[in-house]
Structure 1
Amino acid sequence: MKEIHDIINAYQSIALTRRPVALATLVKVEGSAYRRPGARMLITDQESWVGALSGGCLEADICDRAQQVIQTNKPALAIYDTTHEDDIVWGLGLGCQGIAYVLIEPISQATHCNPISLLASCVKQRKAGGIAILFRSHKSPSAKALARESLGSLLLHYPDKALCYSESWPQLETETIRGEILSDLQAALLNNQSAHKTYATQKGEIEVLLQVVRPAISLSIFGAGHDAVPLAVIAKQLGWSVTVIDTQARPSSRKRFAIADEVCLATAATLPPSSHAIDSRSAAVIMTHNYHADLALLKSQLFEPWSYLGLLGPKSRRNRLIIELQSQGLAIKPDQIEKLNSPVGLDIGAETPEEIALSILSEIQAVLTNKPGRSLKHKITAIHTPSTPVSGYTLAT
């Protein structure tokens, strides 16, 4: 998500100078690749860029290709095939054993259907949006002609459900095909899963990336001790939205946590309503180092729909807090206790505040992406879900 923020900020700065830019999007991957479909980079006419589509091996070539796109004002599809052994010696030297499809399109303030405007809306509204990108046609000369006419055609589905079709979108010949793509994009949004699908038209097959643009993870930190500082700092480096709640209501916390998006000064018993809705991308960590403050916070936050709720401290302290809440007549269900991550964080041998912050943030990332948080060397299957279409439709994360 930090990358999206960087691209939005860079584009807004460049737009003031009216310099032409291009947006490169990884639209499809076959085999192994460093990034997944939907990754982007913004390139200027001065050959500088923000974002990345690989571990550093493709960016220079993409930047070179983007200059022609900027000059001609026409999109282009670049295909990087690293499946052959000769590539290591004669090609780009990747040795990744994969094929990456990169769409490079010109972008300006005058662009009717601007994907960066959708990214900005998703960030500002903290809601998911969707982008359908037509990037390839094949199997017949007429299909290839369709690709030239409609390459980079976009359908933007804004968080408020407003739709925007690029000017080349009508080349998709029938309302039926357009309706199918919109329906599939809405299904991807509903399932919170990006997808890649092939559609049959009268001229041949077309390939479309259906991307779900998710809002940043929102992290609420209850407690403003010295160990909360690296937690907030690293979370912001990840591009997360960070709110710090100082239950001691110390004005100095506003300066200490200047990096946070919001600093709230309130006691555990007088918390104001959250400034944004708690959703599937919301996480919270209780770390006040004060038993009674943690008790009051747990009493209120245990029943909120956090996708992740962590509590700092050992199991014995957690159990004591739960027992005391139950003795007060609070009906706590077993699944609510199971949902509470305490002791908080992954077991990585963390001791210092920075290491503990890394442990906590790693666990949040794992929980919110439904991953086990184990070493990848023990994973038998591929690291990522394959994005190559199977029976016309394959989910890709």
Structure 2
Amino acid sequence: MDDSALFQALQDNQQDPQPTAVATIVSIDGPAYRGLGTQIAIRANAPVYGTISAGCLENDVRRHAELCFQDQRVHRVTYDATNDDELIWGMGTGCGGRIEIQITPLFDPAQTALLSWIEAVQQRRASGAFLQEIVADGAEAAGLCWLDGKGVTPAFPTSSLPSAAVIDMAMARLDRDGSDRRGRRPALLEEPSARWLFRPAAPPPAVLLVGAGSDVAPLITGFAGLGWQVEVIDHRPDQRDPNRYPAATWLTAERAKDFAARPAHRRDFAAAVIKGHHFERDAAWLAAVLKEAIPYVGVLGPRSRFERLVAHLAEQGTRFDAEQCARVYAPTGLDLGGENPAEVALSVVAEVMKETHRRTGAPLREKKGPIHERGSH
């Protein structure tokens, strides 16, 4: 899940400490704008960090958070759009569902622990899940823990700890989805005496863009706008100027033959897109990225050029098997009718997102059931 809003709030608190709370969707019944486990952060004298609705609930959630600041207790609030009462009171969400939100004040050392855990995940040094206790309205505290392959770590010394049964359920989810961290979903883990929310935490998806240039700039901003980490590789020094591509996470000049020597976490890409204008370099990078377990490998340009790249590699003794070929998207992008760089970038980002989330890309009006996949019990 995306913890960037909470991370930003905690970072801001390092410079300007303020009373802080986190609001989490802990139950959904029917249609809702956001899914189970979605969070926003509220600081006393700052705008709300993140979104939990289409903009209709944030102000009211903030009002409840201010009560948390006063009594330092956990608050629960329910928004029920299954009847007309909310229209009378001016909420007007119109989603037609019922959601419960738990608002939990955050104190040190929990803030420090959360900041450290989220930072480790964002820097691709850790992967696991948060376990958040769901408690009654007015409770003095709610347990909060980090779970990974090493076990459970509480966020503060007096935190409640999940039972062995809950830990087993959570570990089963980590193990089951271990090969696809981005496929993990939040879930309620319940037993007679307690409920815990399982919130998976994996590094942001990363995309590798081979070849820079003005036509790559919209690709960089498109992926960065989704919260992805973006690496741009180009051999030209002027194309690695951070001022030229401020949204890029990394700008490097690495050669294809050195890619396999990287640490594993720096070869963990959800997608790679090859957009070079140098035939030999493009061929070398195509071979290099297909040796890795990168699920989406896109090649910009006409299909005929891609076929020449493959033929050239075959002449050199590099051939691709069926599994590798299935991961290649050439030409890359959806057929949206785009021609200019921004339109092409939109089609590429859309296709990568579609494949990453294993969706069809069909119009939502043709979809049966909920728009979003929800967490499970």
How far 1:16 sits from its partner (Å)?
2.9
Equivalent in 321, 335, 344 of residue 356 of structure 1: 344
- TM (norm. structure 1) is 0.84
- List runs of 5+ in structure 1 lacking aligned partners: 137-143, 388-393
Asked if 2 retains the 8 angstrom alpha-carbon contact of 1:75 and 1:152, the reply is yes
Residue 163 of structure 1 pairs with residue 162 of structure 2: no
Asked if 1 retains the 8 angstrom alpha-carbon contact of 2:36 and 2:374, the reply is no
1:160-200 Cα deviation digits (max 9, x unpaired): 65622655654x7xxxx611111122222222332223212
Q: Separation in 2 of the partners of 1:212 and 1:6?
A: 15
Local SS of the residue matching 2:67: helix
Residue 330 of structure 1 pairs with residue 330 of structure 2: no
How far 1:338 sits from its partner (Å)?
1.6
Q: Separation in 1 of the partners of 2:327 and 2:60?
A: 47
Look up the equivalent residue of 2:185 and give its one-letter code: Q
Name the counterpart of 1:140: none
Residue 197 of structure 1 pairs with residue 189 of structure 2: yes
Look up the equivalent residue of 1:367 and give its one-letter code: E
Name the counterpart of 1:21: 20
Equivalent in 168, 175, 193 of residue 183 of structure 1: 168
Residue 54 of structure 1 pairs with residue 53 of structure 2: yes
1:180-235 Cα deviation digits (max 9, x unpaired): 1111222222223322232123xxxx332111112101111100121111111222
- How many residue pairs align between the two structures? 369
Look up the equivalent residue of 2:45 and give its one-letter code: Q
Look up the equivalent residue of 1:5 and give its one-letter code: S
Instruction: Report percent identity of matched pairs.
Output: 27
Name the counterpart of 1:135: 134
Q: Separation in 2 of the partners of 1:343 and 1:272?
A: 25
Local SS of the residue matching 1:50: coil
Distance 1:116 1:83, change over 3 A: farther
Asked if 2 retains the 8 angstrom alpha-carbon contact of 1:249 and 1:267, the reply is no
Residue 318 of structure 1 pairs with residue 318 of structure 2: no
Please show how residues 132-281 of structure 1 align to structure 2 within 5 Å.
132-136=131-135, 149=139, 152-157=142-147, 163-164=153-154, 166=156, 169-170=159-160, 178-190=163-175, 191=177, 192-201=184-193, 206-246=194-234, 248-254=235-241, 255-268=243-256, 273-274=261-262, 277=265
Distance 1:281 1:332, change over 3 A: closer
Asked if 2 retains the 8 angstrom alpha-carbon contact of 1:216 and 1:281, the reply is no
1:70-101 Cα deviation digits (max 9, x unpaired): 11111111111111134334451112111111
Asked if 2 retains the 8 angstrom alpha-carbon contact of 1:125 and 1:159, the reply is no
Q: Separation in 1 of the partners of 2:83 and 2:279?
A: 61
Residue 38 of structure 1 pairs with residue 26 of structure 2: no
- TM (norm. structure 2) is 0.88
- RMSD of equivalent CA atoms: 2.6
Asked if 1 retains the 8 angstrom alpha-carbon contact of 2:18 and 2:45, the reply is no
Name the counterpart of 2:181: none
Distance 1:112 1:87, change over 3 A: closer
Asked if 1 retains the 8 angstrom alpha-carbon contact of 2:31 and 2:97, the reply is yes
Look up the equivalent residue of 1:250 and give its one-letter code: P
Q: Separation in 2 of the partners of 1:227 and 1:159?
A: 42
